[in-house]
Amino acid sequence: MAGLSRKHPMLRRSQAMWGSRRVWQPRLVFWAGALSIGLISVVFAMLADQAQALFHVVIGSDGGWRFYLPLVMTPLGFVLCAWLAHSYFPGSQGSGIPQAIAARHLRDDEDRSHILSLRLVAGKIALTIVGLFCGASIGREGPTVQVGASLMLQAARWGGMAQARGLILAGSAAGIAAAFNTPLAGIVFAIEEMGRTYEARTNGLVLTAVILAGLASLGLLGNYTYFGIARETVAFATDWPLVIACGVIGGGVGALFSLLALKAMRRIRRWNALQPLSRALAVAAVCGLAVAIIGIASGGLTFGTGYTQARGAVEGTPLPAFFFVGKFAAGLLSMVSGIPGGIFAPSLAVGAGLGSTLGLIFGTSSGVAALLGMAGYFAGVVQAPMTAFVIILEMTGNHDNVIALMCAAMLGYGTARLISHEPLYHAMSRVFIAEGIRRRRAETSEAVKA
């Protein structure tokens, strides 16, 4: 064998590569990180579902006095989450996707550690679960992205890997893939939403992370579709007006959500500047009370992720005509309140409600209308049309509607671009980038003075 290696230099290099600890150690750490993303995502999902179910058990469904508990429970929960996020887990507020995007732009590892760390993994998961237990209209998918990016960045530190930006991208993609059981959507999300300037050399990292996280998720939960199986198919001969309406109206309403969220958060941030903690808690309390009032007025439909309502609409059960209005408002208030929590699932619920209402107007099947509404609205909110239609295709297991969903998503995206010129997550990420730069300048200034 030794003689063979001397005769063939390529074989010798291959043996050196595979036998080197410096090669294998980073790979093993990376694989362990990807598997841990899948496992933690599944546990997170189970705990989030239990928290949401427990909230509904507490308030009851008989319309008795317990049904009005959210008037106290929800504001107090919002205040608790905002206080813990501000005092013990700064950087955990909101979705988590802007933090992952910002971390890819920050060059210093210490700056990244303020928004991606194991401490924030624990805080993000715990506070999102508390928020769902209190009735907040939030999701766990955005937080799973921050969790995945944090775990992969930590793996990079332990394994001595230098590709921090690529590993953050891979961790984010793995988080989406494991959260929804949508591996293709995880890859598309990495390219379209996280990357924007995607680097071909990260292909292997993203694919490997998505595969390993997906395997961990499948091992625990099996192969499933997030919203069940959509059986109905768009008939273009009769349904094309619905496709256009869901795309244009959904995109317009989605852009309105994005625009209102950005403007509200900027004003709140300026107002909070003088007394950051006390005013942040006041905002959380007001938003929590408003979410509770909307939830009670809607008969409890707008509390939580909206997953049950969206799944029902996809499977053919029409939603109340103005469910989407209440869910839109509850999601917006939960987002601007400053508590940790994502907008993926609530946005899909709003889209399903909007599509269901348009389906009633056009006299079309509510299942098909809900799918199209989800594609148009979600593409309008995040301005990522490929992610929108791919994630909905994988979550419903119906590939017969691919062209219709593409059309609705592209119309939604085009309409949103006319109304709101900056994508929501990227606009929010600039806040974290600016904070990192200010922190670095302040530290440099202090070092110079010393």
User: Angle, to 10 degrees, between the axis of helix 97-105 and the axis of helix 424-449?
Assistant: 50
Lowest mean pLDDT among 29-33, 163-167, 199-203, 392-396: 199-203
- 């348009």: which residue's tokens? 358
Checking if the pLDDT of 291 tops 60, the result is: yes
Coil, strand or helix at 309: helix
d(CA 285, CA 292): 11
CA angle 169, 218, 226 (to 5 degrees): 80
The whole-number pLDDT of residue 177 equals 82
Spatial neighbors of 148 by CB under 8 A, at least 6 apart, are 37, 41, 171, 172, 173, 174, 175, 176, 178, 213
d(CA 426, CA 192): 12
Of 230, 402, 227, 240, which is closest to residue 316 (Cα–Cα)?
Answer: 230
- 């939604």: which residue's tokens? 412
Spatial neighbors of 33 by CB under 8 A, at least 6 apart, are 151, 152, 154, 155, 171, 209
Element (DSSP H or E) covering residue 40: helix 21-59
Average pLDDT (277-302) is 95
Domains of the chain (ranges plus CATH)?
A: 28-221 (1.10.3080.10), 236-433 (1.10.3080.10)
**Mean pLDDT of all residues belonging to the chain:** 85
> pLDDT per residue over 115-131, tens digit each?
999 999 999 999 999 99
**Does residue 398 contact residue 357 with C-beta atoms inside 8 Å?**
no
Question: Which tokens belong to 130?
Answer: 């508390």
CA distances from 94 to 134, 335, 435 (A): 16, 6, 15
Predicted structure pTM score: 0.89
340 - beta bridge partners? 94
> pLDDT per residue over 3-55, tens digit each?
544 555 554 555 554 455 566 677 787 888 888 988 998 899 899 999 999 99
The whole-number pLDDT of residue 193 equals 67
Of 58-62, 225-229, 264-268, 426-430, where does the model show the most confidence? 264-268
Q: What length does the chain have? A: 450
- Read off the pLDDT band of 77 (50, 70, 90): very high
- Read off the pLDDT band of 1 (50, 70, 90): very low
Of 72, 48, 62, which is closest to residue 300 (Cα–Cα)?
Answer: 62
Lowest mean pLDDT among 58-67, 284-293, 336-345: 58-67
